Amino acid sequence: MLLAAAAFPAALLLAAAGQGLGATLAGCRWLGVAVPLDRQVWALVEEPVVRFAALARAWPYWLGSLLLPAAVAGLAIPLLPRPRSLAAELATLQAAWAAAVAALAVEPLLDRTDGHLVRFLQFRGLDPRLAWGVPALAAVLAAPAALRLLALAREGRPRPTRAQRVGVVLLHLAAPAAAWAATVALAGGAPARPAAAAAGGPVAVALALAWRGFPPRLPHRFRPPSWRSAVAASLAAAAAWAAVAVAGRPLPDGRRAGVLWAETGPRNNVRPWIAARTLPWTTRGRGR
């Protein structure tokens, strides 16, 4: 649960980093971030030309917040090198799970008028309802995390019952997803029904896999968690939530916090609802 508490806010930072890196590849200057819980995250950038967002080359700017979490959700478990410890395995699968649920299932539906994917579709004359395709993809990309969890659970019970399999998924995956959906709704002051419904997709896939049965047992054993791993997970959770609090906390008049590490110019993308503050160790900016 500590690892899940770290992974879900970290998924917002991952999505913002994806947009920032995509914007940089498209020719923007990355200035800062805003990572509110109840709105889509934003990488704050200086755009190279007027109406840059409508250009064909701007697609990494609009889709980067989805592409990087999708890569983590689908590839972290099979490809990421890590020690043979249960803590490392659980950290990896929770990172993949949070990327699928928070960044891919929930994020695209939090702002269906000014969101990244919605704007990308509008600029290309496509139906904004196609944004529901990303939560559907999230349900597919959530499968590796569920399968890995079910395989790891066989370390303690080689032949668990169906109820035990479902219980493992409910405790380790469904509970953090439900807690995240509730946190998003509370942060927004109202139920986020589409986002909450989208979060149910990955959970349904995980429960279906648990109902069906386990994957083959992993060929090697893992070191059990130690008190050091618990301390590390606690520190990671505290750092992730602190970053979200600094760069996304609610402010009066419906605004949300943001941070800048460089000076803004006349073509910045800082939204009116973002109250961006310059970090004290950087040059003073003009965030609005």
Neighbours of 250 (CB within 10 A): 15
Q: Around 26, how many Cα atoms within 13 Å sit in the side-chain half-sphere?
A: 26
Q: Please give the sequence-ordered ranges of beta strands (E in DSSP) within the chain, or none if there are none.
A: 29-34, 42-46, 256-260, 274-278
Place of tokens 């990308």: 120
Dihedral angle of Cα 205, 211, 216, 220, to the nearest 10 degrees:
80
List phi, psi (to 5°) of 84. Answer: -85, 70
User: Which tens digit of pLDDT belongs to each residue from 131-161?
Assistant: 889 999 999 999 999 999 999 988 877 788 8
pLDDT along the chain (288 residues), means of 10: 96 97 96 94 95 92 96 96 93 98 93 87 90 93 95 84 94 96 82 78 96 82 90 97 95 93 92 91 52
The residues near 181 (Cβ < 8 Å, ≥ 6 apart) are 106, 192, 195, 196, 199
pLDDT at position 221: 84
pLDDT at position 65: 96
Query: DSSP class of residue 112?
Result: T
pLDDT at position 286: 43
The residues near 97 (Cβ < 8 Å, ≥ 6 apart) are 4, 7, 73, 142, 145, 146, 173, 176, 177, 202
9 in Cβ contact with 244 (< 8 Å): yes
What does R_g of the chain's alpha carbons equal in angstroms?
20
In angstroms, rounded to a whole number, what is the distance separating the alpha carbons of residues 117 and 211? 33
Nearest to 134 by CA among 158, 105, 156, 155: 105
Statement: the pTM of the whole predicted model exceeds 0.85: yes
pLDDT at position 283: 57
Nearest to 39 by CA among 174, 175, 185, 137: 185
34 in Cβ contact with 257 (< 8 Å): yes
pLDDT at position 155: 80
Determine the number of helices (DSSP H) and then strands (DSSP E) in the chain. 10, 4
pLDDT at position 206: 96
Place of tokens 């066989």: 154
Length of the chain: 288
Nearest to 256 by CA among 39, 78, 70, 73: 39
List phi, psi (to 5°) of 284. Answer: -70, 130
N-terminal to C-terminal alpha carbon distance within the chain: 37
